[in-house]
Each structure stands twice: as structure tokens, then as C-alpha cells.
Structure 1
Amino acid sequence: MKNIVFVSATLFGLAACGGGGGGNRAALVDACMEDGSTEQATCECMADSAEKNLSNDLYGKLAKAAKEGEEAAESMMEDLTPEEQGQFMSFAMQAAMTCGAS
């Protein structure tokens, strides 16, 4: 359970911190690494996992929020449907196990 909470916070951080880069994956990786507490390999794994496991729409929302920063991330999280929230949490659990986030 601790991993789920950590990864959820980290993934929210993917969007909340904002990211540079033109591509969606680059924006997610950059935002994840911005605070300096997560290794690049973990951030890349989580970004790849997001692309693989989220619907195209939800992945696009996460990447857009990563590019736009904290306000966009907060808005995105508030606007998710219950189905999207479930998909996001399922992804967060899977990413925690796959990417070794602890």
C-alpha cells in the first residue's frame, strides 16, 4: 500500500511539476525528474508504463498537464471520471511494481 501512495504522489508530481520537452513522454520524464528525488530510469519506466497502460485520452491529459504545470494537473485530477480515476489507480499500482518505485 505504501508503494501505491508513493507512486500516486509521484505520478501526480509528473503533472504537477510541469515538464519541458515537446513530446508527451519527454514531458512526463522531465516533470518526474524535476524535484531530483527520482532516478531517470524510474521516471522513464513510469512514463512508458503510462503510455502503455492508460487510454489514449487519459495519457494525453496527463502529458498535457505535465507540460502546463501545477494548475493544469490539479484541474485534470479533479475532472477525471470515476472510470478514469480507476484506470489511473490501476496504472499507479502496476507502475509501482514494474518500475520499482518505493
Structure 2
Amino acid sequence: MCAPKTGAAAFKEKVDIIQGLVTIAAIIIGGIWTYNVFIKERREYPHANIEQKITHLALSDQQNLLRVGLELTNTGSSLMLVDMSIVRVQQILPNIAIGALHK
């Protein structure tokens, strides 16, 4: 039969058990990270370039047609899902003739 362990030996055994558990957890976490980065080639956030193409056409002296096109390019290796995009024109000023400003 084994003799009972002293305080120092019992403490060392507990530390060895904790060290083994931490090592196992680190290997599992490292494996998950490696799978995501190198196998699936995914990073946490996508990298996107957004290019706006804006044109206008004078419909009359008072009205212009404004056309805004967006080109979205995924330059990263993360999956980027785009469900919807919104373009807002914040302010439209009326077309005022220059001579009217000096009156």
C-alpha cells in the first residue's frame, strides 16, 4: 500500500493535475483557432472596400436626377454577408441661378 502523502507532495500532485487540464484546454483552443484561420481561412471581421459612383443629369432648370451606385468588394478572407444596403442623400439644395444670389 502507498503511504499517505505529505502536504508538499499533495500540493505538487494538485498542481500537476491543474497543469495538465490547462494544457489540454490550451491545445483545444489552439486547435479551434487554427481551424478557423488556416482551414476555413476566416478572420473575425471582414475587410470591405466601398466605392461610390455618383452621377447627375439635369432634367430641367429646377430638377436634377441624382444616381448613386455602390460597389462593395470583399478584400479579406472572412465571409461577408450583405442583406441590404441603404444610401441616404442628406441634403438637396434647389438649383438657384447665380444672378438671383446677388439681388
Alignment TM class, shorter chain as reference = under 0.3
- Larger proportion of helix: 1
- Larger proportion of strand: 2
Query: What TM-score, normalized to structure 1?
Result: 0.20
Higher RCO (C-alpha under 8 Å, 6+ residues apart): 1
Higher alpha-carbon Rg = 2
